[in-house]
Amino acid sequence: DPDGNMIDDGQQPLVYLHGGYDGIFPAIEEALHGKKVGEQLKVKLQPEDAFGDYDEELVLVEDISQFPENIEVGMSFERVTDDGEEEMIYRITDIADGKVVVDGNHPLAGTALVFDVTIAEVRPATAEELAHGHVHGAGGHHH
């Protein structure tokens, strides 16, 4: 973050399909365009270019009776619409006095981010990756 707190140590490389496939923040993809292996850069993203601004309306207080007995702060779940469609991920942020506070914001919403990037590898995408719109792991399709 802008204060120098490490959010991700980069031990797991970020691998994405370049060319507007939405596998990475657009501002990062734009900064990486045309770069070569070994090049380094820093890119700072404001919240609106990363996980969005924090939205107080996505914080809800629900009755504990709507949840299973074994809930804990930090648990995540999908809230579904009445027609059974997936809506969004909520995290439990507090449990007290028969109420559960849930937050639909991404944990990094409202946070500016600084990416310190070293390009480790560039390779052509496979036909299958292009057809699917995302990178596949070593040995092929894994999802």
Concatenated DSSP letters for 80-133? E-TTS-EEEEEEEEEEETTEEEEE-S-TTTT--EEEEEE-----PPPHHHHHHT
Express each pLDDT in 117-131 by its tens digit.
999 999 888 888 888
pLDDT band at 9 (very low <50, low <70, confident <90, very high): confident
Q: Round to whole Å and give the CA distance between 76 and 91.
A: 4
Is the pLDDT assigned to residue 19 strictly greater than 70? yes
Express each pLDDT in 100-111 by its tens digit.
999 999 999 999
